[in-house]
Structure 1
């Protein structure tokens, strides 16, 4: 796979590239925002889709036995996690699943906890169901990395009002891969205070050595029975548009409740193309993924090195996972809107505003480097020129 090959995504109804005027007000901004990749899906996935399309009939579809077997095998091979096929429930996406889970497992007025700054839909699915949002802000170290605040976590859980914790593991946007020790400490508290853990593990395959992703439900039987694990092939293999995700639910009662919620909204089906792509990705995508991770790590190291040498106003720590960089622009002294205007109109870069990830994201921006190295180099050049002009005005 040649990840240096630029693929023109314009005029494909691509949210990332074709929506720049609507999102940023500048059609010339270089899009490095929404979390999909500018790379083609693995050859095995494209081949499987061609074969399925050539069949010509796209009727109602259910996941075959081989579909679930491919997920079981992937989890065992990549994450040393032994799961059962009956634990798997497909659904159209992780965010729709989160919304259903909040509705099905909590009641109006219940407290639901998230660890901020975090993926914006976490806020949305809690608030739109009339639940009380409780935050457990992460602590940022001097080197820019983040850790959980366990003292604050226990204080918040001990009141007995928090019924669910939505965990981001690995964490988007800060890129942490939580260690077994961190997750075990979290699990002990959630079990003690009877808090259901919904773990969004959509980035779990995008982890860089020496970090290792630990599936939350693999911690212990108690943790497994008190958790619901959200997975999808979409981030890993760049097939988000096929709307395929898989909830892994070891607890039989939880599975039953979730399936009733899916049935209530008629959301339990799967598309024929989504099923074919997912199975092919999990069966044959491992080598492609390893090559991808090396390339993305190279992009991240390029940004980190360049910022250290040429961009004193920008701080970042290398993430342990994802293809997203959490850039600290607080030295510029701009609020969120000012910073966004500066980047969009002076640097001509389209990034995600840090403030959309929570108050703790004020002064930060999220940059997606799942793109060609030439794109990253162009972004750094644009940012360098804009900051030089900014310094000259001071």
Structure 2
């Protein structure tokens, strides 16, 4: 049976007082617990003022330990390469993201490359899109020594809702928003930020389809932090190019029960009702609305939709030309799909560089203007 947390922490405290200092990894092995568990204990004990912690080392009060490894970090997510200890290098950069998979895998990779190349260390906290977890992870990283934050808040629309997100502008360290934005007048609008210009990405897709001769183009996207900007760019491009508007999106609950039953087993990436509603919408848009092309967000939804469209008599690409958005797996479809690819890796890299520059300026007593950087997505056309 595992020892009770109070007993375990008492044992840790006794060993640290006896030895003066102890390395987290070595102490975890000696106690037979995981480093993640020990870091949580260390965080709680430090918060109570029982011990000191710095980069990978804990010590009794009054000692002079050698560096701290931020807690609240996904195992394996933080950089651990040579030269990343605080005593041997620069600052610790905390990065709060919803996940390190799919879209954000490249964002994190780009940030990590720049952070480590400049002699700093990256520590990643995950939110799993849980409400309020972004603030919890940010505070946890700060409590364990992060000098600056790369922050992707859990804003369902990609931008803060009413009364949401003001805390991001009150953080005590330089902070860069990543793939999120705040409207003028919102406190978070004063932060540096780097994001993909999803509106431009949608417009690129519309322009390409229009150049191929399509006059009526549909947008199919579930509600995500990206969808609002996609809709803005899509509508602007349709108006600018003088295209005919596609049929209006169906109201919630319009999906047929038969379609919902078909979609329910498709995959865990889409709930049955939204997926079925998208399927019904595209079928009706082609059969009754004169639509001949669609921008579908995301790749995974498009790959699941295409065989179901074909099963209901909509041939792809003969009846419906498809461009997907994200370009994570579009080339892996049965017939590789053309796709719009946000510059995910570059977003992470630019955000990390912006934050490190901000920290260097602050250390030198400088304070340059805030920056809002939008990176344009790329359209990859596949035959």
- TM-score bucket (shorter structure): under 0.3
Asked which structure has the greater CA Rg, the reply is 2
What is the TM-score of this pair, normalised by structure 1?
0.25
Structure 2-normalised TM-score? Answer: 0.26
The structure with the largest helix share of the pair is: 1
